Amino acid sequence: MTQDIVILAAGKGSRMKSAFSKVLHKVGGVSMVKRVLATAQSIPNAKLHLVVGHQGQQVEQHCQDFSANVVWQNNPQGTGDALRRVAPDLQANGATLTLYGDVPLIQTSTLEKMISLSTQNTLVLLTISLDDPTGYGRIVRNAQGKVTAIVEQKDASAEEKMIQEVNTGILLAPNNHLQGWLKNLNNDNAQGEYYLTDIIAMAANDGVDIVTVNPENEAEVAGVNDRVQLAALERELQRQTAIELMQNGTSLLDPSRIDVRGELVSGQDVVIDVNCIFEGKVVLADNVEIGPNCHLKNCSVGAGTVIKSNTLIDDSQVGEYCDIGPFARLRPGTVLADKAKIGNFVETKKAHIGEGSKVNHLSYVGDTQMGQGVNVGAGTITCNYDGVNKHQTTIGDGVFIGSNSSLVAPVNVAKGATVAAGSTITKEVKQDQLAFARARQANKDNWPKPTKK
């Protein structure tokens, strides 16, 4: 049976105290609504519908990478009203799964379980039993245990409020019945809204089978109404991610102190120390070691590489058995070949560092092609920017650059050359040459020291 999946994302979320839509707030570095859309998109042959309202243009633009049918719900009047706006676009012989843009941790496996029970005469509800069901709609069953209705908290009797099985809001209904149920909804309730949950009683009256499915855990169906709940889901997602990493062979020295804000692919016997942040997509090969307080974003790190504390790596490729840090910064476009070394307080950008080359400390290397076995002394910089344009520096294999040197690009230092410490190089250094470019030292007697004014 074909699937329509409707994601409700029209609410304002006033309790977030935010200038932008609630569903755009992030969990694990990804907006809540994008997480739900990605899960929905994992269902084969599903047609996605995104219902927007408050700041709908921003939400629509934010989600444009997903091929979703965008439906507007101005002046929203409840979940039933939202589905009625989508009704004309639903497939005639399919079923509609309703999800929520502020319930970001719903799992594909749970949705697949619901879909497996769906028929033209079956409505599938996702329910959960809570120790404290306050605020949730209660699942009402008859003496035979069959679901007969869902009663919202504000409309529930004292007896109904004692029910612990609650509605998660996620349901799967056959479209051949759903269209008629939506037309028959009314807003005769305490909120004056059209409740989607009212179709449960209609389904029972029409003899439609109502079956229930439970999620794996409560966090999977937890919604976000304020920043406290958002933070709680962030911690839960990080906990789940840490467990998955450890189960797949990664050692976390403190599982409660890691943040994955995107996707982390980690090989076997990787060791990650405390307070590390991973953004975007990060790939770590086997036996990588990462020290404390490191920040890696959109990068790959080869096997056996050691990244020492307080290192930042952004949009870069790191080879095998490299040695990086502490306090190093690899900016976008950096490529390190195998066994390269980047030491403390070194910054690179758009730099290709050859195999076994070393930039040990206190240097800036930008817009540079560096060969194998190069040694760059402390305090060396490539002067790649003339105030308007960037220029390239080329350093051949086996070059030795003395400390406190400046290479003014565009410039080429050929294979085997040596640059004397303290030199400012402005023209080509040929193969195996020694270049020294510094003024002759002059000493003056009785030099009057400056005084403080």
Catalytic residues: 361
Q: Does 225 belong to an annotated binding site?
A: yes
Omega before 326 cis (within 30°)?
A: yes
Q: Does 203 belong to an annotated binding site?
A: no
The strand pairing partners of 395, in sequence order, are 370, 413
Q: Does 8 belong to an annotated binding site?
A: yes
Q: Does 56 belong to an annotated binding site?
A: no
Q: Of 106, 87, 92, 95, nearest to 36 (Cα)?
A: 106
Q: Does 188 belong to an annotated binding site?
A: no
Residue 302 CB-density burial (10 A; 0-12 exposed, 13-18 middle, 19+ buried) = buried
User: What angle is formed at CA 111 by the lines to CA 25 and CA 5, rounded to 5 degrees?
Assistant: 65
Q: Does 102 belong to an annotated binding site?
A: yes
User: How many CB atoms sit inside 10 A of residue 384's CB?
Assistant: 23
Q: Does 286 belong to an annotated binding site?
A: no
The residues, ordered by sequence, that sit 6+ positions from 209 with a Cβ below 8 Å of its Cβ are 119, 121, 122, 123
DSSP string of 262-322? EEEEE-TTEEE-TTEEEEEEEEE-TT-EE-TT-EEEEEEE-TT-EE-TT-EEES-EE-TT-
User: What angle is formed at CA 104 by the lines to CA 103 and CA 108, rounded to 5 degrees?
Assistant: 105
Q: Does 194 belong to an annotated binding site?
A: no
Q: Does 176 belong to an annotated binding site?
A: no
Q: Does 75 belong to an annotated binding site?
A: no
Q: Does 364 belong to an annotated binding site?
A: yes
Q: Does 421 belong to an annotated binding site?
A: yes
* Cα gap 355→250, rounded to integer Å: 27
The DSSP 8-state label assigned to residue 171 in this structure reads E
Q: Does 142 belong to an annotated binding site?
A: no
Cα torsion angle, 372, 378, 382, 388, sign = positive
Q: Does 248 belong to an annotated binding site?
A: no
The strand pairing partners of 324, in sequence order, are 307, 342
Encoded tokens for 129: 């039993």
Q: Does 349 belong to an annotated binding site?
A: yes
181 three-state secondary structure: helix
Q: Does 78 belong to an annotated binding site?
A: yes
Q: Does 9 belong to an annotated binding site?
A: yes
Q: Does 389 belong to an annotated binding site?
A: no
* Cα gap 224→163, rounded to integer Å: 23
User: How many CB atoms sit inside 10 A of residue 120's CB?
Assistant: 13
Q: Does 403 belong to an annotated binding site?
A: yes
Q: Are strands 165-174 and 95-100 parallel, antiparallel or unpaired?
A: antiparallel
Residue 196 C-alpha from the chain's centroid:
31
Q: Does 137 belong to an annotated binding site?
A: yes
* Cα gap 151→137, rounded to integer Å: 5
- Mark residue 446 as left, alpha or beta (left: phi above 0; alpha: psi -120 to 50; beta: remaining): left
Q: Does 378 belong to an annotated binding site?
A: yes
Q: Are strands 406-408 and 424-425 parallel, antiparallel or unpaired?
A: parallel
Q: Return binding residues for Mg(2+).
A: 102, 225
Q: Return binding residues for acetyl-CoA.
A: 378, 384-385, 403, 421, 438
Q: Return binding residues for UDP-N-acetyl-alpha-D-glucosamine.
A: 8-11, 22, 73, 78-79, 100-102, 137, 152, 167, 225, 331, 349, 364, 375
Q: Return binding residues.
A: 8-11, 22, 73, 78-79, 100-102, 137, 152, 167, 225, 331, 349, 364, 375, 378, 384-385, 403, 421, 438
